[in-house]
Every structure is written in C-alpha cells, then in structure tokens.
Amino acid sequence: MTGAADIAGLPAGLPKRPASRGLASPLLVGLGLALACAAPLGLNGYALYLLTLAGIFALVALGLNLLTGYAGQISLCHAAFFGVGAYATALLTTKAGLPYLVSLPLGALLTTAIGAAAAVPALRLKNLYLAIATLGFGVVLQKIIFEWRDLTGGGGGLALSAPTIAGYELGATGLYYLTLAFVILGLWGAWNVSRGRTGRALRIIKESEIAAASLGIHIARYKVTAFALSAFYAALAGGLFAYLVRYINPESFNVGLSIAFLSMVVIGGLGTIGGSIVGAAFYVIVPELLRGIKDAPGLVFGLLLVVVMVFMPQGLWGMARRLVWKR
C-alpha cells in the first residue's frame, strides 16, 4: 500500500519565521537570565527569599501548566505533590542520610509515581468532576503525611538544618542559585515538551479526545504522562521549598495552596511556558509590593486578580505576547 505520507520530490527548506520573533525571544531570555544571575548582588535577605520562593512556585507552575494549560486536565492536588516532594526530600536527606542533591531528584521520582496514580480518575472524569476527585486525592495525601507520625513527625512538623552540597553548607544565596538552575532546566524541558510530540498530543487531547484518538494518540497514556510529569516538577519544587523555609508542616500543603498554584497558571497564561514564570512571580511579588497600602493589601490583590482575568483572559503572558509579537 502506498503511504499517503510519502509525498516526495518537493524542494527542501522551511519557510522562515517572522524576524521580530526570532530576535526578540533570545534577547528577552538573555536579559532575564542576566538579571536572575545578578539578583543576589543587589537584594537584601528577605527579597532574595521572595525571589527564591517565586522560582520554586514557577517550577510548580511550569509542570501544572503542561497538565492544565496544555492537556486541559484540572488538578487540585498539586499542593499535596509539592508536600510529598518536600517530605520525601527532607526524610531522604535527614533519615536516610543521602546527599541533598541525590534526595532531591529521588524524592521527585517517588512523587512522580504518585502523580501517575492521580491520573487514574482523569481517565474517567472531566472538568469539575476531575477537580473534586483530585481535591480528594490531595486531602488523602496530606492526611497520610499527617498521620504517619513515626516518619513525618505528624502535625508537629519537621525542622530542617541547612542543606550541604559536597560538604559546603548551602546558604540563602546558594539555594537561590540551585533553584535558578532547576528553573532554567525545568523551563528548557517544558519548552521542549510543549513544542514536541507530547505537547502537541496534549493540545489535541484538550481540544477533542475523539479527534486525538483518531490521529493515533493514546489518550490514557498521555494523561498519565502529563500528571506524572507535572507531579515531578511540583515535587522537585517541594524539595527546594523544604530547605528554603527549613520547617515543613502538613498544614502548609492544603487545598488553598493548590488553588494558588492554579491561579498562577491562569494569571500567567494557560498553555504558555513564559506565563508560568510570570504568574508565579506575580503571585509572590505583587502582594509584597502592596504591603505599603494601608489596611488593604489583600483587598487590592484580590481586585487585581479580577481585573487581570476580566481584561486579559489569555493571562499576562498571553497579553504580552500579543502586544510584542502581534500574535
């Protein structure tokens, strides 16, 4: 049988992308990278803490955006993945005595398996139904951390000392650079996936599962992949978070945090990689900037969220992209 794909004999060479896009992107990336590398020089301790936190949340948002923005699967259990990653990394480091740089990816891999299990309801459920199912899943994970007192210390939480890498104690600046390295790697990976075969499969699954299947895409496999991959990102971030705050408690990883993660993705821009970074930065930094406003920082921040959503439904990044690249 002749394959419809073997249409041959046509000249090679792809049409060029508009020049503005080709130039603006590396420029923006370079500028952001330079700023991020230089940041610890000009910032005080608290500001550096906030920036590290923004980086950690950006990592979660990158993974969650692949799941929610690309594949269209809502999750309200990412705070639990974040928490499991935090606990797994902390316990592997303190109780199993593994080096921090080993326990971090190991804890994330463990959480990846749990993330894959969380995909099972997604094979049957959609939208709000899936949201509630994942909410339940998150509550169960949080409860397990709470009840497994021998291992996790239960409600009393877990106090941690500064992590060490090859004998050197990792201070605030060190942890910032470690986070930055993971954000860059995570950004690069998410960018590649979003442009590749998996990202495209996720996009069409979000659009129409029937169409995706008729193009030979195994829906279940990709939903599991998306959940697992985004759990990996969340858990890696959790492992960094544990050593940023040096004290973790099951209470911190509640549904409120899951909703915050979801908000970052939506504010930044669903289905955009840059949006994950912008959304996380917005969520961490803007409330701090509003502290000066007497009595009502929460009120202003809440209203700001409403305004962003009403006037920029495609998110901050989506808006910027339309303005800068005219698309």
Partner 1 sequence: MTRLAIENVSVDFGGVHALKDVSFSFEAGSIVGLIGPNGAGKSTLLNCISGITRPTTGRVRLGETVLSTRNAADIAGQGIGRVFQHPELVLDLTARDNLLIACHRSLDYGLLSELLMLPGVWRREREAAQRVADVLRRLGIADSADTEVRSLPYGHRKLIDLGRALLMDIGFLLLDEPIAGLNDPEIAHLTALLLELRQEFGFGILVVEHNMPFVSRLCERLVVLDLGQLIADGLPAEVLSDARVISSYLGEAADA
161 to each of 36, 94, 222, 243, how far by Cα in Å?
26, 9, 39, 8
Residue type, 280: A
Min dist CB 190 to partner 1, Å, is: 8
Per-residue binding letters, 189-228, with partner 1 (x by CB under 8 A)? x--xx--xxx-xx-xx-xxx-xxxxxxxxxx-----x---
Min dist CB 322 to partner 1, Å, is: 11
Binding residues for partner 1, how many (CB under 8 A)?
40
Asked if 7 touches partner 1 (CB under 8 A), the answer is yes
* Pure H helices in the chain: 19-42, 45-64, 78-94, 100-122, 127-147, 149-152, 172-195, 197-207, 209-214, 219-245, 255-268, 273-289, 297-311, 315-325
Which residues touch 61 (CB under 8 Å, ≥6 apart)?
261, 264, 265, 268, 276, 277, 279, 280
Min dist CB 315 to partner 1, Å, is: 13
Asked if 310 touches partner 1 (CB under 8 A), the answer is no
Please choose, out of 6-14, 35-43, 124-132, 296-304, the segment that lies near partner 1 by the rule CB under 8 A: 6-14
Min dist CB 213 to partner 1, Å, is: 4
Would you say 75 and 258 are in contact if contact means Cβ atoms under 8 Å apart?
yes
Asked if 271 touches partner 1 (CB under 8 A), the answer is yes
Please choose, out of 2-10, 49-57, 255-263, 283-291, the segment that lies near partner 1 by the rule CB under 8 A: 2-10
Q: State which residue, 12 or 128, has the beta carbon closest to partner 1.
A: 12
The partner residues of 165 in beta bridges, in order of sequence, read: 168
Per-residue binding letters, 226-255, with partner 1 (x by CB under 8 A)? ---x--------------------------
Residues that bind partner 1 (CB under 8 A): 1-5, 7-8, 10, 12, 14-15, 17, 188-189, 192-193, 196-198, 200-201, 203-204, 206-208, 210-219, 225, 229, 271, 327
